[in-house]
């Protein structure tokens, strides 16, 4: 396993939900966390956490975050793409303008955001020889079960990006893992009753898996981690 001490990991979407749980877990493991937030002033104080402004809606934001991290730390060892949004829009029983707007928003945040971050971080991930990328996707990027076709389309696209990262990064020591959970106890599932929220997957458990993926050596790469709180035949 790789030693986390001194390794700098970027985490997007770390102000809440899965991203926040990942950042907290990595700090406990000994990583240095560069957190990308829309409001960096709201980040908790920690000697190994530095917050930078990152907004997936602005194309220059990724480059500025990467540049700030290199300026302050001189290296980037890993990237966790945890920022994402979900808008429920049925394929047929919805207004087309509303559906297309939702598709555009989720494409920007769930797909173009990770693309911009990977491109900006790439030379630094290559330079360390043991670069790591974790893409927080979803089981909705593996199958369709609910009225969230636009969200699923964005997560399928993220999975395509993920496997291209694995392909082109392999000769340079870059290893990528996609984390694909089902329902998770975050704000995305606020509509669930309290008893259901206690039963579904917890963000802290997903954070443990990300921690492991970032520390695995180059010769023990895990391409995808599919996680669910209930049985599905595909697993």
199: its two tokens: 């039963």
Task: Find, among 150, 131, 128, 132, the residue nearest to 141 by Cα.
Answer: 150
141-146: which pairs have CB atoms within 8 A and are 24 or more residues apart? 141/178, 141/180, 142/180, 142/226, 142/234, 143/232, 143/234, 146/88
Could you give the angle at which helices 149-169 and 113-128 cross, rounded to 10 degrees?
20
Place of tokens 């008893």: 195
- Dihedrals phi, psi of 50, to nearest 5 degrees: -125, 130
Q: Please tell me which residue in 52, 54, 151, 156 is annotated as part of the active site.
A: 151
If DSSP codes are grouped into helix, strand and coil, which group holds residue 171?
A: helix
Place of tokens 């290559």: 126
- Measured between alpha carbons, how far is 152 from 103 in angstroms, rounded to an integer? 10
Is 52 one of the catalytic residues? no
**Cβ-Cβ contacts under 8 Å for 92 (sequence gap 6 or more):** none
Catalytic residues: 151
């Amino acid at each position: 396993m790789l030693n986390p001490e001194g390794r700098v990991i970027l985490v997007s979407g770390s102000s809440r939900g899965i991203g926040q749980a990942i950042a907290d877990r990595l700090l406990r493991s000994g990583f240095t966390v560069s957190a990308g937030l829309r409001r960096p002033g709201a980040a908790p104080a920690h000697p190994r956490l530095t917050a930078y402004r990152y907004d997936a809606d602005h194309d220059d934001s990724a480059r500025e975050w990467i540049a700030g991290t290199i300026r302050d730390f001189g290296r980037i060892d890993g990237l966790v793409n945890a920022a994402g949004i979900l808008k429920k829009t049925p394929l047929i029983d919805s207004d087309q303008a509303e559906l297309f707007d939702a598709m555009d928003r989720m494409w920007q945040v769930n797909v173009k955001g990770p693309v911009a971050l990977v491109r900006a971080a790439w030379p630094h991930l290559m330079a360390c020889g043991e670069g790591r990328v974790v893409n927080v996707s979803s089981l909705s990027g593996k199958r369709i079960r609910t009225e969230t076709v636009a969200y699923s389309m964005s997560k399928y696209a993220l999975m395509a990006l993920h496997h291209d990262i694995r392909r082109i990064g392999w000769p340079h020591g870059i290893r990528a893992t996609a984390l694909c959970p089902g329902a998770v106890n975050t704000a995305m599932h606020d509509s669930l009753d309290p008893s259901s929220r206690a039963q579904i997957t917890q963000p802290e458990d997903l954070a443990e898996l990300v921690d492991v993926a970032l520390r695995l050596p180059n010769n023990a790469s895990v391409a995808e981690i599919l996680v669910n709180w209930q049985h599905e035949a595909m697993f």
